[in-house]
């Protein structure tokens, strides 16, 4: 799973790396983003531009009665999401996105009950952006009429280095696959689904961090420091 991410780079650096074409979103650096927080994503706009957006983390399908479903839709399993009611419309409609992060956190169980856990930070070995495969949707609140754009992160089996921490991990897309995932370059569904696999062990670095990251009120850069 992926339930906590970091987004700590300057937006100017991200814009260059992701080749964004559009006005900058209301962006704030954050070393501890939980589900329901605003996430920086890239989508393909109607006119074909790679556009940055801030979207709520936890996908709200158009048919949702309220926002509660978002607490269970911040991840979508790559093996089954195409048939799940919460995600299948976004997939069918081609509403794929790149979820832009600088990495994520995972907790290793230290005892059989899982009560004792140690958090670890995971980042790209080259310290670049960690770009995850995602889906997005637009939901209209039936009470207020307000529209909310939201997203989910696709997950897959863990690779070798992650398997010691958890049996799942986010789908981290190689830069060569970004354009096809967004629909900027042609790809059939089978080709897109083939991208949803663990990245290479050598792509990642992992280190132990302070348990303060477990409290979502803690947001600062000290959370990503090795302990």
Residue pair 180/50 in contact by the 8 Å Cβ criterion: no
Cα 139 to Cα 91: distance, rounded to the nearest angstrom: 15
CA–CA separation, 82 and 182 (whole Å): 17
Phi, psi at 103, each rounded to 5°: 140, -175
Catalytic residue chosen out of the listed positions 97, 106, 151, 199: 106
First-to-last C-alpha distance (Å) of the chain: 23
Q: Is 106 assigned a catalytic role?
A: yes
Question: Is 2 designated active site?
Answer: yes
Name residue 155's beta-bridge partners: 77, 170
> Which of 81, 97, 8, 86 has its CA nearest to residue 45?
97
Q: What is the dihedral of CA 175, 173, 137, 180, to 10 degrees?
A: 50
Cβ atoms of residues 153 and 76 within 8 Å: yes
Identified catalytic residue from 2, 97, 151, 199: 2
Can you tell me the distance from the alpha carbon of 15 to that of 51, in angstroms, rounded to the nearest whole number? 10
User: Under 8 Å CB-to-CB from 66, ≥6 apart: which residues?
Assistant: none
Residue 9: alpha-carbon gap to chain centroid = 15
Active site members: 2, 106
């Amino acid at each position: 799973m992926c339930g906590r991410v970091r987004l700590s780079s300057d937006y100017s650096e991200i814009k260059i790396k992701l080749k964004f074409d559009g006005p900058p979103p209301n962006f704030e650096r954050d070393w501890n983003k939980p589900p329901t927080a605003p996430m920086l994503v890239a989508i393909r706009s109607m006119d074909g531009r790679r556009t940055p957006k801030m979207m709520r983390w936890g996908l709200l399908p158009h048919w949702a009665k309220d926002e509660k479903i978002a607490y269970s839709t911040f991840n979508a399993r790559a093996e089954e999401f195409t048939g799940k009611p919460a995600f299948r419309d976004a997939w069918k409609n081609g509403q794929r996105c790149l979820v832009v992060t600088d990495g994520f956190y995972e907790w290793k169980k230290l005892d059989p009950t899982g009560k004792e856990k140690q958090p670890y930070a995971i980042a790209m070995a080259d310290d670049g952006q960690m770009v995850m495969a995602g889906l997005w949707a637009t939901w209209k609140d039936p009470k207020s009429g307000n529209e909310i754009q939201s997203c989910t992160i696709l997950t897959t089996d863990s690779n070798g280095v992650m398997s010691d921490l958890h049996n799942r991990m986010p789908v981290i897309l190689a830069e060569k696959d970004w354009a096809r995932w967004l629909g900027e370059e042609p790809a059939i569904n089978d080709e897109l689904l083939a991208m949803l696999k663990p990245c290479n062990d050598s792509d990642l670095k992992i280190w132990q961090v302070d348990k303060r990251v477990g409290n979502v009120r803690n947001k600062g850069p000290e959370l990503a420091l090795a302990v």
